[in-house]
Structure 1
Amino acid sequence: MSSLGPAVSSLRSSISLLESSINLLDTGVSDYRRLQKVLTTQQHFELLPEPTLRTAQQSILDEITPAITGLLGTAEAHITQLGRREESLRARSELLEGRLESDRRRRDSALEAKPVPDRARQGSGKDVNGVKALELKRLRQKKERLQYAVGRLELESRQRQRELRKSMAAVKD
């Protein structure tokens, strides 16, 4: 057995060396899964060729353009409608202003044109001239009222024409 002693001792030393190597490898490889995950690259951004990018941009443009055109048409129609409404309101305002002015004139003329007593008419030539002056004043006021009435009718006519144009435009749309 003496010849086997050195072989056994060499085998034991080899086994201890092998165990030591296994322990070293085990500590080196035990973190392998984490290292594998850390070392794998993740692609966060995809690089695309330029023609593909242009095609995508064109498809988005083709998708959005009709919607934008529709919205612009709607906005223009609304603006046109608001313009017509503004014209109508202005005409109505002018008409109502004219009516107020006419009422003021009537009140003023009613206050100024008090009936002349019969005794004053029978008096002197001065009184006759005064009566003629009052009659002339009344006739001028009547003329102004008639002019106002004509103006008011013209405004009403223009307003009705605008409304007719508006309704015709609505029928065309």
Structure 2
Amino acid sequence: HYELIPQTTLAAAEASLRDEIGPYIALLLSRADAQVERQARRIETLKARAELQQGRLTRPDETGKASVSSSVRRRRLAGEDKLRARMVRQRKEALRYGLERLELEVLQKERELRRRLDG
């Protein structure tokens, strides 16, 4: 059993419903856009991190040849000198890692700036 409703009542109900839920829809759309942007940035970060890790994976192959001569030098070092050399190597690796992270951060900031200027 259906009742007929006048067109004006139906139009008023539609307008009321649109006015009531319109702001919520706009809010949900803006949240969805923000989430999509966050995910896009995350994808870019993960891609850049993967490139960085790939570079690290290829680096040991390049330095593997030099490790033979360095291992002979390490045998000559005694006690305190070994410790000092190890600390210097660790510091060097830490600095190299820090530099790579900063370079990655710079690339990411450049991408974000380009995206903001283009968008």
TM-score range, shorter chain: 0.5 to 0.7
Q: What aligned pairs does 1:122-161 form with structure 2 within 5 A after superposition?
A: 153=99, 156-160=102-106
Note the alpha carbon deviations across 1:132-157, whole angstroms, 9 max, x for none.
Answer: xxxxxxxxxxxxxxxxxx9x946632
Output the CA distance in 1 between the equivalents of 2:102 and 2:50: 11
Count of residues in Structure 1 that have an aligned counterpart in Structure 2 = 88
Q: Higher Cα Rg: structure 1 or 2?
A: 1
- C-alpha distance in 2, partners of 1:72/1:157? 34
1:66 matched residue in structure 2: 23
Distance in 1 between residues matched to 2:101 and 2:44, nearest whole Å: 12
Amino acid at match of 1:81: R
Q: 1:158 to 1:113 in 2, by over 3 A?
A: closer
TM-score, scaled relative to structure 1: 0.41
**Does 2:4 match 1:47?**
yes
Q: Which runs of 5+ in 2 are unaligned?
A: 73-95, 113-119
Which of residues 105, 109, 123 in structure 1 aligns to 2:62? 105
1:83 aligns with 2:29: no
1:103, 1:156 → 2: CA distance?
Answer: 21
Output the TM-score relative to the length of structure 2: 0.57
Identity of aligned residues (%): 35
| Aligned CA-pair RMSD | 3.3
Q: Which amino acid aligns with 1:79?
A: V
